[in-house]
A = this chain, B = another copy of it.
C-alpha cells in the first residue's frame, strides 16, 4: 500500500507534545508534508496530552521526554490509562539509556533520538501506527550494556537534591531525615556509581537517566 493510497483511505492522526513551540511547529510542518499523516493536535505540556488525544481521536502521539512539569514519560502513563489504543512514540534530546527502559515501561511503542535524520520520522510514525516498534539500534545496545538503575529510591531522591549544590543539612530537612542518614545515602550512591563525590555521581546518574 503506498502512502497516497493510505491518505485516500484515512490519514494517520498525530498529536505532538514538545515544550518548545518552535520545534513543535516545525515538526508539524515536516509531518504535514506527508499525504498520509495529519497533525491534529499539539501540546506544550504533558498534562494536556491525554485530554487532547481523546478529543481528537489521535492514532499516534509523538511525545518529547524532556518537558517541564509533567514530562513525556508521565504523560505516556496518563495517556495509556486514558486511551489504551493510542500508540506512543517518544522523542528525546539526550540519549540516556535509562530513558529507553522507562519509555517502554510507560507503554511507548517507539523511541527516537533528536539527531535522527528528519526523513525517518514519518516512517517511524507509520511503523508505530501499524503496530510495530521503533528503537534506535545504537541506543538499544548501550541500554543493554549499561544495565538497570542500581540506585534505590532514597538514593535517587538524595542525589537529585544534591545536584544543585544543596548542603547535607538542607537535604536532610527537606526529606525529614537526619544529616547522618543523608550522608550515608550519598556515600552509598557514590560507591555504586564508582565516582569520587556526590557531584560526579549525580552527573553520571543523570547521563544514564537514573535520576
Interface residues of A (CB under 8 A from B): 19-30, 33, 44, 91, 93, 112, 114-119, 121, 163-167, 195-203
Contacts and interface: CB of A to CB of B under 8 A. Distances in A.
Contacts of A118: 21-22, 24-26, 28-29
A19 B20 CA distance: 16
Contact of A112 (B22, B116, B163): B22
Count of this chain's copies in the oligomeric assembly: 2
Given A19-B115, A115-B20, A199 B165 contact: yes
A112 B25 CA distance: 15
A12 to B, nearest CB: 17
A167 B21 contact: no
22 contacts: A19-B115, A20-B115, A21-B115, A22-B27, A22-B115, A23-B23, A25-B30, A25-B117, A25-B118, A25-B119, A25-B121, A26-B27, A26-B30, A26-B121, A30-B30, A165-B196, A165-B198, A165-B199, A165-B202, A165-B203, A167-B196, A167-B197
